Structure 1
């Protein structure tokens, strides 16, 4: 039987205790084994139980992804590990602030493109706009690529926030 060596992108959700050092241990697991983190978000989701959700986007072969999940599950403050990519349909979104410095027709065009992508202008000056856009990583990449053709661009992005669809919870 042949082993699957194709590299795929996976979104992994990890429920952890909200305490100092937890994120460092998770990142240490990845860096210590040479795994790459493409996106990382973490936030408290339950203040009364002091729980946080870490959402990690990484790529690897099925064997590497399985190793990552097993090793994450062994960390002391981890309550649950869920590979959203394998467990069925899920919703994934990122947010970005994109500043475009442009004049004249390029300035007008940036507003048109922003409207098409449903980006919201959150700051405006005579020579620039800052757009807020939410969507998939691909949506944000397309928007940024178009804006870079119009002028100087400055970008700040969040990592992925993701939840499984339906009744399944972490």
Structure 2
């Protein structure tokens, strides 16, 4: 008599779910990390990412509590759900870290970025740059006879769209701050 040839986990009659539960889907997550504002803390947090080959799409850091000497690090990263959970756990084990929040998992969050664009152009290109800036609600913060510097705030998609439209007109240089984010509602 020959043995039954069944693949492990391939039948609904099995009492055990033997299929792997890992996801291969890459997700974008925004993490807010509250840390002590002291030398070397940022390097330790960021070193965790680079040491394990995790990518950082955006990084912003600023002191948020002057009396308590605490800073907030906002990191936008991409990975599978398992990688994101691993990142959060490893960051939480660093001694000067007080809190690690995944704003993506907690619900709706407000994300904004500030960007400066230097656009070179004369004549019709100059007029077109001003029209586009008005549509995107960008402010002119510097102007010469042949160039503008625009300031724009918004979500990442808005900043990218503005950059894409300014490239053919004469985008020379761009500086971006990175994402600043807060969860919506009464959550803290």
TM-score by length of 1: 0.98
**Any conservation in 2 of the 1:94–1:159 contact (CA below 8 Å)?**
yes
Corresponding residue of 2:130: 111
**Any conservation in 1 of the 2:33–2:98 contact (CA below 8 Å)?**
yes
Of 86, 102, 105, the residue aligned with 1:86 is: 105
Of 8, 16, 31, the residue aligned with 1:12 is: 31
Number of aligned residues: 169
**Any conservation in 1 of the 2:121–2:147 contact (CA below 8 Å)?**
yes
Corresponding residue of 2:6: none
**Any conservation in 2 of the 1:12–1:83 contact (CA below 8 Å)?**
yes
Corresponding residue of 2:151: 132
**Aligned pairs for 1:33-72 within 5 A:** 33-72=52-91
Cα distance in 2 for partners of 1:16, 1:6 equals 30
Of 20, 23, 26, the residue aligned with 2:45 is: 26
Q: CA RMSD in A?
A: 0.7
1:123 and 2:118 correspond: no
Of 157, 162, 175, the residue aligned with 1:156 is: 175
3-state DSSP of counterpart to 2:104: coil
Q: CA deviation at 1:4?
A: 1.7
Q: CA deviation at 1:153?
A: 2.2
3-state DSSP of counterpart to 1:38: strand
Cα distance in 1 for partners of 2:34, 2:70 equals 7
Q: Structure 1: which 4+ aligned runs deviate by more than 2 Å? A: none
Higher relative contact order (CA 8 A, sep 6+): 1
Q: CA deviation at 1:45?
A: 0.3
